[in-house]
Structure 1
């Protein structure tokens, strides 16, 4: 069974997933928040997911950031829509900066819109890898 991670944003949701053996975290796609529920229902018809991991936006002092309320609502709906799948959260404070750095080092040249989507999927991958590292995968 896979683990799926989300970098939630009000404009885009970056998604990453593990392989079925939960060894490798891979960027999957970016989905508009309005489309996420249909996307997940379709995905779950084909693949088994054991855990959803959501990046929780925190401020430097560890308190919730302004966007945390959106993430809490997203997590609540995940639990309601998919009650058999565990939902976990991971501190995502530095994921976007790390993602930008990884992309810059890769030498990829993308237009601005593609770049934001790429940052979101790479951020989701970092969130997923962080979760896997803390769980000892």
Structure 2
């Protein structure tokens, strides 16, 4: 089997999570600058077998697109141009950043560690991936 990659794409930073090869466990991989995302994915896809990519879909509470939707749509168009053969799916990402922050609190991370926005993005990507796997 191949891995599944989840992306929590943001204006500045992008959190990335992956499954193991058996697609049982979702784990945070890294947080990267958003402008480096395509380059990072090219390198990763060359090293690892990836079956599909899950991209978070930000929505307002009422289900309408959020203000960051336009930025993510541009990224998706670029992604599909660069990786036309790769399957891409969208997953609702409402509350993932809040859940990520709460999980940091629950795990006992110190205040300084909780201020690491990159870690929040990585955990949010992991939550997106786990939600996808739970529904699959």
Cross-structure match for 1:119 = 120
TM-score where L is the length of structure 2 = 0.94
**Helix, strand or coil at the partner of 1:126:** helix
Q: Is the 8 A contact 2:59 2:92 kept in 1?
A: yes
* Correspondences of 1:1-137 after superposition (within 5 Å): 1-109=2-110, 111=112, 115-135=116-136
Q: Secondary structure at the match of 1:111?
A: helix
Check 1:118–1:9 CA distance in 2 against 1; reply closer, same or farther (3 A cut).
same
SS of aligned partner of 2:8: strand
Q: Aligned partners of 2:64, 2:126: CA distance in 1, in Å? A: 23
Deviations 1:37-94 (A, max 9, x none): 1111111111011111001110001010111111111111111111111010000111
Aligned residues: 135
Q: Tell me, which stretches of 5 or more residues in structure 2 are unaligned? A: none
**Consecutive unaligned residues in structure 1, runs of 5 or more:** none
Does the 8 Å contact 1:78/1:87 carry over to 2?
no
Deviation at 1:114, TM superposition (A): 5.9
Residue 134 of structure 1: CA displacement?
Answer: 1.1
Normalised by the size of structure 1, how large is the TM-score?
0.94
Partners of 2:85 and 2:62 in 1: CA distance: 33
Moved more, 71-80 or 122-131: 71-80
